Structures are given as C-alpha cells and as structure tokens.
Amino acid sequence: MIKAGIIGATGYAGNELVRILMGHKEVEIKWYGSRSYIDKPYAEVYRNMFQIVDDVCLDDNMEELADQVDVIFTATPQGFLAGVLTEEILSKTKIVDLSADFRIKDVSIYEEWYKIEHKSPQFIEEAVYGLCEVNREQVKKARLVANPGCYTTCSILTAYPLVKEGLIDPNTLIVDAKSGTSGAGRGAKLPNLFCEVNENMKAYGVATHRHTPEIEEQLGYAAGKPVTINFTPHLVPMNRGILATEYATLVKKPDGSLPTSEEIKAVYDKYYANEKFVRVLDPGQCPETKWVEGSNYVDIGFQMDARTGRIIMMGALDNLVKGAAGQAVQNMNLMFGFEEAEGLNMVPMFP
Amino acid sequence: MIKAGIIGATGYAGNELVRILMGHKEVEIKWYGSRSYIDKPYAEVYRNMFQIVDDVCLDDNMEELADQVDVIFTATPQGFLAGVLTEEILSKTKIVDLSADFRIKDVSIYEEWYKIEHKSPQFIEEAVYGLCEVNREQVKKARLVANPGCYTTCSILTAYPLVKEGLIDPNTLIVDAKSGTSGAGRGAKLPNLFCEVNENMKAYGVATHRHTPEIEEQLGYAAGKPVTINFTPHLVPMNRGILATEYATLVKKPDGSLPTSEEIKAVYDKYYANEKFVRVLDPGQCPETKWVEGSNYVDIGFQMDARTGRIIMMGALDNLVKGAAGQAVQNMNLMFGFEEAEGLNMVPMFP
Amino acid sequence: MIKAGIIGATGYAGNELVRILMGHKEVEIKWYGSRSYIDKPYAEVYRNMFQIVDDVCLDDNMEELADQVDVIFTATPQGFLAGVLTEEILSKTKIVDLSADFRIKDVSIYEEWYKIEHKSPQFIEEAVYGLCEVNREQVKKARLVANPGCYTTCSILTAYPLVKEGLIDPNTLIVDAKSGTSGAGRGAKLPNLFCEVNENMKAYGVATHRHTPEIEEQLGYAAGKPVTINFTPHLVPMNRGILATEYATLVKKPDGSLPTSEEIKAVYDKYYANEKFVRVLDPGQCPETKWVEGSNYVDIGFQMDARTGRIIMMGALDNLVKGAAGQAVQNMNLMFGFEEAEGLNMVPMFP
Amino acid sequence: MIKAGIIGATGYAGNELVRILMGHKEVEIKWYGSRSYIDKPYAEVYRNMFQIVDDVCLDDNMEELADQVDVIFTATPQGFLAGVLTEEILSKTKIVDLSADFRIKDVSIYEEWYKIEHKSPQFIEEAVYGLCEVNREQVKKARLVANPGCYTTCSILTAYPLVKEGLIDPNTLIVDAKSGTSGAGRGAKLPNLFCEVNENMKAYGVATHRHTPEIEEQLGYAAGKPVTINFTPHLVPMNRGILATEYATLVKKPDGSLPTSEEIKAVYDKYYANEKFVRVLDPGQCPETKWVEGSNYVDIGFQMDARTGRIIMMGALDNLVKGAAGQAVQNMNLMFGFEEAEGLNMVPMFP
C-alpha cells in the first residue's frame, strides 16, 4: 500500500483521480490539496464523495507532501509544478504531472505556446512523456512523468501506428477534435455556463491550441522527422468524451496502389492487439464517445477513401479517464510495478 | 463462484447488470438472453462491451437456463416471468425478477393496474419484495425476489422512516418524481427520440402510473394501514437519475407543536445510519441525481415548512443501479450470503 | 412608432426583449443599457444579434432615458428600480419592471423574502401587477407595471380559475415547478456551469423561494382570503421552459361528489377560451415545455384523481417569453393601446 | 396571397415549413400532406401547433394538389417526387423539392450514391439548384427548384468564394461537419433515441455520405473543373444546428506568399456583403450554431494557418431553416417575386 497526494484535487481531473484511486488496491490518498478550499471537507466540494471521503482539503505544500507520500499527482494549472519542483522533492517522491509543464522537450516551444517562462527547465530532459502504450519502459523507470493532454492522447494514439510505419504522410495530417465540456475545467466562466454550451457547437483555439506542438513532437518521433499538422478543437454539449477525426493522405506503395484496408488494420493490430486499453474496432465501425465513458479505453476506427487517396482515422476516449486521471494512474502503476490495469477495470457506462 | 443468467440482457437494465457483474468477484455470467438478438455477439448490441464480453446472445429458455446457472435475473416485460415460472425452475435456481410480476401481493390490484392476467399467482406469496434496506432478512432466505421498480425504490426509501414512525400523515403524501430517459427503455418509440426529449419536460401517466400501487402497498405496511397517495412521474432530458420530491403533512406532537428538524433527522438516522447505500444528507442539503450517478447510493434530504405544516422530502438515485441492476445484485448478494456491497462499490461519477 | 429603452439589456431576459422587439411594428429600441458592457457593441455581447443590432451598450441612466423614450423596460436585479425611481421619471415615461420591486403590495413581505430594504414604497400602490389575463384593464391605465416572475406566471395561471371559482381548497395547493437553466441568469457561477447542470436534476430554495409570496398574494386575491402554499422550484438540464405540476384537494359539491372533468374543463374555458396566449389542452393531454418554446403561450392541462380527491394541474411556458420578455411586451401593448399580440405571434419552435 | 401545399408535412422539415409560413404575409397553407397521419389533425401530430393550425392531414396526392395550389413543397424521402412528377403537374404549379431527386445533374451519380433508380430524369435539366445566393436569377425563373441539402448548404457557402476566386486548391478540401439530431428525421429508430445520442458523439457515413457528390458538383461549377473532396458528417447531442469545419490548402501568390487574412476577408465580402442571410464574421470570430438557431442565417468565419499553409473555414446554420425550410421559402419568394426575406426575418433565439 503506497500513499498518494493530489495537488489540485478539486478540479474535475482531481476528482476523477479520487474516484479511480478509491477502487485501487495498492493506494491510499493521504492529501487532498486545494488552495481554494483549504480546511473544507472534500465531500462538500464534491458531494458525490459524501460518506466516501472524510478528509478536508489541504494547502498545496509540495515539500511537506514529499515527506508524507510516495507519489504526488499534480492536477494544476500550467507553470505550477515547474515553479516549485526541486531535486529534493524528486528524491523523496515520484510525481505524475497532469499539467503541460514537462511534456515538451524544447523549452522555447513550451514558452511560445504557453506564454509563460519555464521555471525549472533542468527537469525537462529527465521527465518521461507518459503515453503508456508508446513509452511504457521509460515510464517504469521514471521519477517524473508528464501525463499527456486529453486531446493529445486521443490524437496521437489514433494516428501513431500509421505514422510510425510510414503509411501516411504526416504533414498532411489534419486533426478535427471534439470535446465534452469537462475539459474546460470547473472555473466559473461565462462561456462554460449551461445555457451557452447546451444546444450549441463551436470551434475554438483554431490554429493556436496548445496541444498542437505536443502532438507534433510525439508524432515527429514516430515519423523520424519534424511534423507540422492542423489541430482544431471543438466544444460539444456533453460532459465527457473526446472524438478525434483525423485525415491524412495515404502513402502509395511502390506499384502506385494504396494500402488495403486489411493492411491498415494489420498495422493497428501490430501495435495495439495486446494493449488492453486500446480497442481497434472492426472495419466499418466508427467509435462513439459513449462507448468508452467512465473507462480507460481508447476506441479507434478508420475508413479508407480511394476517391481522395486519404484515410479517415477516428479515436474516442473519456477525457477525464484515459485523457487525464486514468492515464495518470496507469502511469503510476507502471512506476511502482503494480499491475498496469489495477484500479482501471471500469467497464464503460452505457447509457 | 456462482453462475448467473440474464433474461432480457439487451435492455438498458440488462446491460447495467452486465456492467456491474463484470466487477463482481463471485459471479460469472453464463447466459446473455435476448430473444431479439439471438446468435448476435452481445458486444455488437452494446459496443461498450467490445473486448469485454465475447459471448453471443441466446434465447430466453428458462428451463435450460435453470439447469445451468445458480441465479437468473429476469429483466423482462411484465408478464414474462409469471408466464413461464414453474416449481421445477425454482427448485433448481434462484430468481431475481426486475419486472413487476411478483411485487404486488394482491393479484387483483396487479391485474387492474397492469391490464394483464397473472399466470402464476401461486408464487406471489413466496416472493420477497427486494427492498434490501427494509426486507433484508427475508431476502436472505428467498428463492424468488421481486426487485422493486426504480421510481418505487426512490419514493419508498425517501418517506419510509417518517411513515413507519408516524411522523407524517401517509394519506397526505404526494410524490412528484422526475426521471431520466433510460427508464423508458431501449425500444424505438417516437416519444423517446432525442429531439422529442431534449430541451423538453413533461409529466406522464398522471394518476395512472403502475408504480403507484407498489408504493402504496409498501408504505401501507410501514403505516400499519392502507395508504393512498398521489404519484406523478416526469420525463427529464438526461440519461440517468430519478429525483423524487415528496410532500406530506407532519403529525403534530401532543402539545400541538411540529417535530423539529433535528427530530426528523434523528429518525432518518435511526433507519439509515448503518445503511451503506442510503446517504442521509446534512440538513439544508438537497440531493442531486448527478451525485449518485453510476452508483448504488440513494441520497435523501428534507426541508420542514412551518408555514404550511408540511415536510418536503427529497430522494435521488440512479434508476439503472439502485433503481434496477444494482439493487438486483444487492439482493443476489443477500440471497447467496456474499458481502452485501460486493460488486457495488462504484463511486458516483461526476461530472 | 414609440421609443423604448432597456435597462439590463445584456441579461438573458434583456436579450429576449431585443429579439421580440425587433419584430414589433410599433417600437424602436433606443437604449441598450448595461452597466457591465458600456460602450461595447451589443452584438459583441450577444452574437446572435450580429448585423441585426448595431448599437453599443449604454449606462443605466434612468433620468436621461426618461427624456428620450416612451417606455423603459427594467430587467435588473431586485432593488435597482426601487432605488432610482422618481415621480419625475414616471411623469415622463412608462415603465415595465421585470424585477420583483413592485410586485408585492405588502412591503414588509417584500423585505422579509428579499432581504433588502425597499427604497420607494410610495410607488407600490400605484404599480399594477402585470398578469395580463387577470389584470388587463388596470394594465391599460398603468404608468408602472410590475411584470410577474417566470415561476409565478406559470403557477398562478395554472391554478387561477379553479381558485377563483372555489373548486379547490387553495391552502392544500402544492406547486412543484421545474425550470430550464436560463432562469438562473447569465452570471458566471459554478452551479450554473454546463457540467454541473447537465445530466443532473435538483430542487433548490425549498420552502424559501422568493416567488412563493407573489403566488400567495395573487391567488389570495382570487380566493378572497389569504392563501399559504408550498412552492418548490427545480433546476432542469434544458435552456428554456417551466413546467409547474400543481396538486390541490378538490372541494366537494353539496351532494358530496367531486366536480367532473367536464366541469373543470368548463371553468378553465370560461377564463381562457378567449385568451390567445393561454391554451387549455384537451382532457388527458399533459403540457410539454417544448410545445411552447420561443412563444408567448402558456399550455395548461389537468387530471382528476378520484382515489385521492385531488386534482393535478399542469402548466408550461417559456420562462424567457411569457415568463419574462414576452409578457413585458404584452403589457406594453396594453399600456400603449397596441394590439395585444403585436410582436408576439411567434409560433413555438419544435424541435 | 398564394396557396401552398406541403407533402411530407409531418417530418421535422415539414413542421418547420409550417412554422415559417404561418408568419408569411403572402402564403396560405391549403394542404398538409402526410401519408402516415391521414385525417388526423395536424396539431395532434405537432402539438406546438395547437390552436394555430386547425387542418387535418391529407394524402400525398400531387395531382389533386396541383389543381389547388400555386406551390408545392415536397419534404419527402428520396425518390418520391421523381416517381410522381409529370409535365401536367409542373404546368399547373411550381415545386420546391426538399429531397435530393433533382439536385444532381448527372443521373448516374445520383443512382450510384442513392442506390435507387431515377424515375423522371427528363426533369433534371430543367430543375434549378436552389442555393439562392449562388443561383438567384435562375431560381426566379424556375418551375422546379431542387432545395439543397442541409450539410450541403453549409459546406458550399462556407467555401464557395474562395473556390470561385481560386484562392484555395479545391481538391485539398476536407469538410468535417457536425449536425444536430433533427437532421436524422422523426423516424423511430434506435440510434436516434435520446439515450443513444445524449452524452455521445460519433462520425457516420464516413466517405460515403450522399451529400458528398452534391457538394462536389456545385464546387466544381465554382472551380470550373471537377472537384473531389472529403466530407465527414458527425452526430451531435443537440436538436438543431450544423457546424462545418473546412480545411484547404491556400494557393500561393505568384511571389510565393500566401494571401493575407484581409485579402481573404475581402473575397468573402465581395460575395456576401450584400447577402442578408450570410453573415461573414469579423476575423478571429468562430461561428457557433446557437447564434443562428431558429433563423435563416449562415455565419461564416475563417482562420489562416501560416505554419501549414492551410485555411480553416467555418460555417454554421440551422439545419431546419437555412438548411431546409427557410431556404425553401427563400426560393419560393424568388420564384413568385416576393421580397426575398419575407417570412424569414426571425431573429436567432439565444439561449
């Protein structure tokens, strides 16, 4: 039984971490950190936790926390962890960071897209990008894991095998992503009010969303060369779920023909057939966010279009689970040598 | 490890049974019965179950099933179980019936409200009404449990302690209930289309809904006399959740005063403080369906109104869990001597 | 062509006033008042108005406004109008107040329920309660109309004929009301975030909601005696619409029998058959909020319950139209001698 | 005052035609055709029309109808109009067809994508494609107008000026479209049930949707050469609204530079500045479906991405208004010489 602390426990991702860890056999939560609700019972902030969590919220004191717990989850705004991280902290405890602070290796790209100075670039190289299915072995040895973004996890996993195997031209990649509103967080902002979101749909952050360079960096590793893509997020009137529809031009075979649907499927299976949390759908099936809701699964499907020579890839996940808290726990399991799926066997809830 | 069969596995309640039993340590599902989808893989009917359930749907053969399994869940239309039940079946297997066939002791009332003839009234007396918190000991010994209706569970548990202790006049009871749309089932009917339900709210079955006599019978046992109430269901644009708002006139104390809020709370606590799945909220708190979504909890709150001499009681549950599949598993746990909460420790999902 | 000014033009009710007045033949909006958005183009605050409204928002200057316009709509927080109203203003312009400041004749009741001091009680007596179907003749002569609340309009109109004719006992009246979220306004508050409201339902303000005394006062006039009721509002995951489900004990006829359904219907028809905006549904029909969305209609239905001796009355309206801006325009039409339905002929939008 | 008949009056588009025509000064509806509801009062099928429409539904008798009315709207399944149309009918009455029967000039493409034989190809050439902003002059002279599809209207208008002016390479065009559920019609089908759509999002008809060749044909006219595109529709949990996000590679100027944002805006303005129903948003603004709900507007915005050399164009409309009934009325207005916006001045409803 290890001890865990959560900084930012009263955001939606923080609450989802609590939900998941309550069902984890090897972890006990010792610290519900929330600067905004210090001394308030956690169950008063999230009443679903009534009679389940008795603790009160505590301050965001990383140093004290490092003395008390084996792992810290930081579900905090960009810049927080980079601002407080020290070698001493990392020598005492492992960290899974749900913010973007250590996701991007090139600090200048981080600073350009996030518009903030990075306060501890010395830890960037050490940090492991926690996309479990891609970086499993490095995660196992990590002290500091940068948990991927919700859009990013979905976007990368959906295209990764085809980029890695050279079946698509990565610079033609267009990711049109749709997200439930919990991705916008629990802050009281006008655009997130029920009446503004319900019965409405819009794109936002077009050509400027911060998950873009994260997707490009990771797919660049897969491609073996820099990749530039289009990424467009949209807000959908639902609580949870991300659907990424991705378009790319197929690379023709030496004889000028396109790869077949079976060949594409075989490549997906090569990477994911043994991955519990990635479900490659049967040909012709389009993923739906509802089929993965509340679970750690990513569902992936695709459709060839011979008319245009493009492939349409589709991925769906629950942004708070595989897109945030679930993947964070999956990373923790790897870091501590637990069974990778421990605490993550939730069956998707339908309807 | 016992074996379970589900008749009606492809309704929403059936699918929820599958979701819950997948996480139950002592049960293995051996039979996914669905007359409409015979031979079709279950995961093609409910794609959330892809790579989780590999079985195909089978016919609704109770006799064959009785030979193969230890418990049968019948999540079937009214009249099905009454039409096929035999002593031989019951001698071989236990049954948890999610339909109304054995909920009502007076067969004439059943036939009046349900407009069908009861085909096996000889089993009515034996059947135990499976409201676990009220009939726990009888359930433990039962072969046949009549699992309560979703509205009913919520309506009864919310008022039960006050009726039982004589704090309210049961004949003044008015239950105004609101339900998510999954309660209407998965049948393809025009009134349940997205565009008909979304951005809409209505009452239905006013003064005629079939859950009325079930509530009256059970509260009558608590009151020690026949009870007649008003029950009005409403359809709400959400998937899951029932909220019951209940009004009753408080019985004055001998000195003419009304009971205090503390006294009311104490009565609720007397009945529910040790009940894991009933959470009596702190005074002033109103339950919300979202706080129990996906879980087996019922949340109960109340507010006194000295101006009118009435109390407003409120209860919330997830109609597919505590209102159907969760309570069915809770009953099964009692019938087989398992820990009562086994498989039911799902933390409510928020948001 | 008269000139109108709106104070509080950037709330949801204010925007709905703009929508309706854009289609009104006799009115031109000259002043979009909004303290929060001074100098900002109105169409940047409500982008539905792009290329429709070119004006910028102005301050809330009642005195200047009184010089410029024939009618002022105040869609403002409680206390605003009472704080600034003067005889000089009223001598120059007519006012339709969408706040509660002049709805309640007994100032002590206002101050008790609203917890604020009333700054200009001298205008209370003059103010006409603008429930057009009840007070039409007084409205025609009024300088100051107190536009009824959204819950109130629905609650009163649904029960009014039966109270007025003595067919129900008004002190047994219980109003269980359900509202879309636009009734909560456009303020950026956590409980109104999409993820908090969606897939959720709750009661709030139980036994303490401010619309209670307003309903009691008006139904008291109808009953000819003071009336005390229960009123419970609920929040529903939809943008627009109020559904009021109302319960009352029927008054028996001298021979001990209950009134018949036909007799009840006849009474509703007596009051509403000639009212364009009140539609009494055929017996057995339950109103649905979607059937009136975007329009000025109130739909009313009822169901007798001989078992309990009660009647269940149901009313539905669009809280932003008949519950706010539509009724305000209806009042304005009466005050200026326009056709009562001018600008209000919107057909309900479905789906 | 002309007389109109509607065949298919009980579909969602049919009901929207009724809603709009009720507010049209020059038209009277004489025939509510609905094979499924013959002799049933229209207001019983659509209760929003209670006390507004008194007529009963009639059969789909085109010949009788042609004798009685000046214009027929056919809001019918594919193949209906082609199956019954005759020169005699067309000689007596004008027709606005909301189905796809006469949208596509190449009958073999129609038959390939729709999988039905075209029964009256002799009228295809005469039929005018009723995209008013593009084909206004031809529509004015037409007897038979093929009203464009909902996705199509949005997709074409959003890209049309840039294709026409050669600013984008049309064969790089990818249209990722999202639609509210009313587009799926009022048929009682399982995938359209509330619980299947709510809290869910999915793509469908990927690479095979029937609106694809319609978009390609029209953009091909604009480009002056055949165009092949990707079009992917998605189902969104909302009643109304289509959002099209469109990606295309910008054509470089002779000096190798990309067009500027101002140049793009100028091109949009060239085509749409005088179009009442097309609103080109200010740079940086992304359209939202809610801003046009209930109205005949299309809102269009765009964002350049110098990194990839692509432009992201976005268009939003109400699929039942500009995407169906509103555009049909706009076409009718042109055909009969009425003011083009007559009956279509609905201000978008927000929220």
Tens digit of pLDDT for each residue in D127-168?
A: 999 999 999 999 999 999 999 999 999 999 999 999 999 999
Give the residue carrying structure tokens 């932003």: C320
Q: How many CB atoms lie under 10 A from the CB of residue B299? A: 29
D326-336 and D12-21 helices, crossing angle to 10°: 50
Mean pLDDT of B278-306: 97
Decide if A272 touches B, using CB distance below 8 A: no
Tens digit of pLDDT for each residue in C288-310?
A: 999 999 999 999 999 999 999 99
Topology agreement, domain B2-126 and domain B151-319: no
* Alpha helices, H only, C273-325: none
Average pLDDT, chain D: 97
Give CA angle at B110 (B108, B115), nearest 5°.
Answer: 95
Test B228 with C200 for CB contact under 8 angstroms. Answer: no
Q: Do residues B323 and B315 make contact, with C-beta atoms less than 8 angstroms apart?
A: no
* Alpha helices, H only, D176-255: 194-197, 211-223
Q: Which helix (H) or strand (E) holds B298?
A: strand B298-305
Query: What was the pLDDT predicted at A309?
Result: 98
Decide if C95 touches D, using CB distance below 8 A: no
Mean pLDDT of B199-219: 97
**Cα–Cα distance for residue pair D230/D205, rounded to 1 Å:** 11
- Structural domain spans, chain C: 2-126, 151-319
- pLDDT-derived band at B90, boundaries 50, 70, 90: very high
Of C15, C239, C347, Cβ closest to residue D48: C347
- pLDDT-derived band at B217, boundaries 50, 70, 90: very high
Q: Which helix (H) or strand (E) holds C312?
A: strand C310-317
Superfamily of domain B151-319: Dihydrodipicolinate Reductase; domain 2 (3.30.360.10)
Tokens found for residue D217: 């044909």
**Cα–Cα distance for residue pair D264/D311, rounded to 1 Å:** 10
Decide if B47 touches A, using CB distance below 8 A: yes
Tens digit of pLDDT for each residue in A143-189?
A: 999 999 999 999 999 999 999 999 999 999 999 999 999 999 999 99
Query: What was the pLDDT predicted at D263?
Result: 97
Test C198 with A12 for CB contact under 8 angstroms. Answer: no
Q: Is B166 left (phi over 0), alpha (psi -120 to 50) or beta?
A: left
**Cα–Cα distance for residue pair C197/C129, rounded to 1 Å:** 32
Longest CA–CA separation in chain A, Å: 69
Q: Kindly tell me the burial class for residue A196, based on how many C-beta atoms sit within 10 Å of its own C-beta (0-12, 13-18, 19 or more).
A: buried
Q: Do residues B238 and B316 make contact, with C-beta atoms less than 8 angstroms apart?
A: no
Closest CA to C72 of C116, C21, C129, C12: C21
Q: Are strands B298-305 and B278-280 parallel, antiparallel or unpaired?
A: parallel
Give the residue carrying structure tokens 């102005």: C58
Give the residue carrying structure tokens 């056999």: A25
Q: Which helix (H) or strand (E) holds C266?
A: helix C261-272
Q: Where are the beta strands (DSSP E) in chain D?
A: 2-7, 27-33, 71-74, 94-97, 128-129, 144-146, 174-179, 202-203, 230-235, 242-249, 278-280, 298-305, 310-317
**Cα–Cα distance for residue pair B188/B194, rounded to 1 Å:** 11
Instruction: Tally the C-alpha atoms within 13 A of residue A194's C-alpha that lie toward its C-beta.
Output: 24
Average pLDDT, chain A: 97
Q: Cα D180 from chain centroid? A: 14
Instruction: Give the CATH architecture of domain A2-126.
Output: 3-Layer(aba) Sandwich (3.40)
Q: Do residues A134 and A324 make contact, with C-beta atoms less than 8 angstroms apart?
A: no
Of D200, D243, D290, Cβ closest to residue A290: D200
Q: Do residues A86 and A66 make contact, with C-beta atoms less than 8 angstroms apart?
A: no
Q: State yes or no: ipTM above 0.95.
A: yes
Q: Which of D57, D132, D150, D154 is catalytic?
A: D150
Non-local CB neighbours of D172 within 8 Å, separated by 6+ positions: D247, D248, D249, D310
Q: Is the preceding omega at residue A351 within 30 degrees of 0, hence cis?
A: yes
CB contacts of C190 in chain A (<8 Å) are 186, 188
Non-local CB neighbours of D78 within 8 Å, separated by 6+ positions: D99, D100, D101, D114, D116
- pLDDT-derived band at B218, boundaries 50, 70, 90: very high
Query: What single string gives the DSSP state of each residue in D105-172?
Result: S-HHHHHHHH-S--S-GGGTTT-EE--HHHHHHHHHH-SEEEPPPHHHHHHHHHHHHHHHTT-B-GGG
**Cα–Cα distance for residue pair A167/A258, rounded to 1 Å:** 9
- pLDDT-derived band at C287, boundaries 50, 70, 90: very high
Q: Is the pTM of this model over 0.80?
A: yes
Give the minimum alpha-carbon distance from B244 to chain A in angstroms, rounded to a whole number.
18
Q: Do residues D140 and D314 make contact, with C-beta atoms less than 8 angstroms apart?
A: no
Longest CA–CA separation in chain B, Å: 69
CB contacts of C291 in chain D (<8 Å) are 47-48, 50
Mean pLDDT of D7-33: 98
Q: Do residues B248 and B173 make contact, with C-beta atoms less than 8 angstroms apart?
A: yes
Q: Are strands C94-97 and C144-146 parallel, antiparallel or unpaired?
A: parallel
Tens digit of pLDDT for each residue in C193-204?
A: 999 999 999 999
Test C304 with B237 for CB contact under 8 angstroms. Answer: no
Give the minimum alpha-carbon distance from B331 to chain D in angstroms, rounded to a whole number.
27
Mark whether D150 is an active-site residue: yes
Test A12 with C195 for CB contact under 8 angstroms. Answer: yes
Cα distances from B165 to residues B130, B169, B170, B247, in angstroms, run 21, 10, 11, 16
Test D347 with C23 for CB contact under 8 angstroms. Answer: yes
Residue B44 in 3-state DSSP?
Answer: helix
**Cα–Cα distance for residue pair C254/B190, rounded to 1 Å:** 45
Test C197 with A192 for CB contact under 8 angstroms. Answer: no
Tokens found for residue B144: 């046949």
Closest CA to B277 of B95, B153, B180: B153
Decide if B310 touches A, using CB distance below 8 A: no
Q: Do residues C240 and B280 make contact, with C-beta atoms less than 8 angstroms apart?
A: no
Q: Do residues C99 and C72 make contact, with C-beta atoms less than 8 angstroms apart?
A: no
Give the minimum alpha-carbon distance from C345 to chain D in angstroms, rounded to a whole number.
8
Non-local CB neighbours of A349 within 8 Å, separated by 6+ positions: A293, A294, A295, B19, B48, B294, B349
